[in-house]
Structure 1
Amino acid sequence: MSPHRSTRLPGAGAHAATPERLNSATPGAAEAALLTCCGSLRWARRVAAHRPYPDIDALLAAGDEAAYDLAPADLAEALAREPLDPPVSRPEAPRVTYSAAHTALRAAHAAYESRFGHTFVICLDEVAPDEALDHLLSGLRSRLGNDPEEERAVAADELRRLARGRLTRLTLRHAAENAADDATGPRRPASYPDSPYVPV
């Protein structure tokens, strides 16, 4: 299951960052970084192939275009690479309330995966932390009523939105690392995490 909520996306300042490190990476390194944003190899290769990007808006537009063009097999590959059981932070709520909600969430996930044969994905970038659990549950329950074709389209759009947020955070993280390198000298490159966002 992949009910991810990132930290809220930065505002207009995010668009001042440039994907310099992604632009200068080798094709293999660029694809590896991009795969942390969307698990489709075709998507990652396509976004990497269109470098260099003058700014983050151009990168996000390329990511969107590549996501819209995913074939069913590419979508299945991306869904298969989403984390199955990300941690869910505990809201400020009584333990009994939280436990009941978590139990309901797991049951809904099991029902979803049984019905559609893939993990549930939803982008919660714009959802407040104290509303995330409710949003997850309502999203799961409402989407269980979709037919498989309709749900594939919804899941594809959620993956596209997740990729946008992850691309933004990847670019901002690289910009911060470059600034730190300029201040202190080059460091050993950090390995890419599974995802450059913070799950619920």
Structure 2
Amino acid sequence: MTPTHPPGRVAIPALPKQSPTPPSRTRLEGFNSASPAEAHHTLLTCLNSLRWARRIAAHRPYPDLDSLLAAADEAAYDLTAGDLTEALAGESLPPLPDDVYGAAHTALSAAHAAYETRFGHAFVIYVGDTPANETLDRTLEAIRSRLTNDPEEERVVAAEQLRRLARGRLMGMLRGAGNCAT
């Protein structure tokens, strides 16, 4: 499979900007009252699965953030193999931070290439609860560890990581972090 991204990039989502205040009720109301097309588009920036986005958009309005996140989790758990393939194909691969030294770029690029060759899709990992200075090490460790998985086991792990990414992106969007895409 030919990578669809420049070398040296891995699916490490930018950490959402966290606000010390709870999510704005008006943002949830805005999501609830958005047109179906707008809600669908917004959801696709959080997880590129048409079925997932349609399902969540169709069940609006949500009374609170917890209800929306529960619906997002449930829809993510119900992804079919085809839905998962679609979602994995839609993952963007942001660049590594500029201050990462060259050897780390080389090691991460090599590990990612091995992963993509073995599994046929981009490596995804949720790092939202990882300190920024540990993200690179955690990612490299996770790629190396997950390379030992068989393909079916890795699809389960990747699906869980996608669920966590979608949840984090939804929370970021509703907290006012702007576009929830990475």
Q: What's the TM-score, normalizing by structure 2?
A: 0.88
Aligned partners of 1:75, 1:14: CA distance in 2, in Å?
31
Hey, what does 2:7 align to over in structure 1? Answer: none
Hey, what does 1:109 align to over in structure 2? Answer: 112
Give how far 1:108 is off. Answer: 0.6
> Cα gap change, 1:144/1:165 in structure 2, threshold over 3 Å: closer, same or farther?
same
Hey, what does 2:3 align to over in structure 1? Answer: none
Per-residue CA deviation, residues 96-135 of structure 1 (Å, 9 max, x unaligned), is xx11011100011100000000110000000111111101
Q: Is the 8 A contact 1:43 1:67 kept in 2?
A: yes
Aligned partners of 2:73, 2:84: CA distance in 1, in Å?
14
Matched, 1:34 2:37: no
Give how far 1:10 is off. Answer: 4.7
Of residues 154, 159, 163 in structure 2, which corresponds to 1:160?
A: 163
- Using the TM superposition, name which of 114-123 and 15-24 deviates more: 15-24
Of residues 127, 133, 153 in structure 1, which corresponds to 2:130?
A: 127
Hey, what does 1:47 align to over in structure 2? Answer: 56
Of residues 62, 66, 91 in structure 2, which corresponds to 1:82?
A: 91
Matched to 1:33, the amino acid is T
Q: Does the residue aligned with 2:46 lie in a helix, a strand or coil?
A: coil
Hey, what does 2:142 align to over in structure 1? Answer: 139
Q: Is the 8 A contact 1:80 1:119 kept in 2?
A: yes
Instruction: Supply the RMSD in Å over aligned alpha carbons.
Output: 1.9
Aligned partners of 1:161, 1:172: CA distance in 2, in Å?
16
Aligned partners of 2:32, 2:59: CA distance in 1, in Å?
9
Q: Does the residue aligned with 2:87 lie in a helix, a strand or coil?
A: helix
Q: Does the residue aligned with 1:123 lie in a helix, a strand or coil?
A: coil
Give how far 1:19 is off. Answer: 1.1
Matched to 1:140, the amino acid is I
Q: What's the TM-score, normalizing by structure 1?
A: 0.80
Hey, what does 2:172 align to over in structure 1? Answer: 169
Q: Structure 2: which 5+ residue stretches go unaligned?
A: 1-9
Give how far 1:7 is off. Answer: 3.5
Q: Is the 8 A contact 1:7 1:125 kept in 2?
A: yes
> Cα gap change, 1:87/1:79 in structure 2, threshold over 3 Å: closer, same or farther?
same
Hey, what does 1:69 align to over in structure 2? Answer: 78
Q: Does the residue aligned with 1:108 lie in a helix, a strand or coil?
A: helix
Per-residue CA deviation, residues 41-79 of structure 1 (Å, 9 max, x unaligned), is 000000001100111111100000000000000000000
**Aligned sequence identity (%):** 55
Hey, what does 1:183 align to over in structure 2? Answer: none
Matched to 1:38, the amino acid is L
Alignment coverage as a number of residue pairs: 172
Hey, what does 1:188 align to over in structure 2? Answer: none
Aligned partners of 2:18, 2:143: CA distance in 1, in Å?
23
Per-residue CA deviation, residues 1-28 of structure 1 (Å, 9 max, x unaligned), is 41224146556x4356451111001111
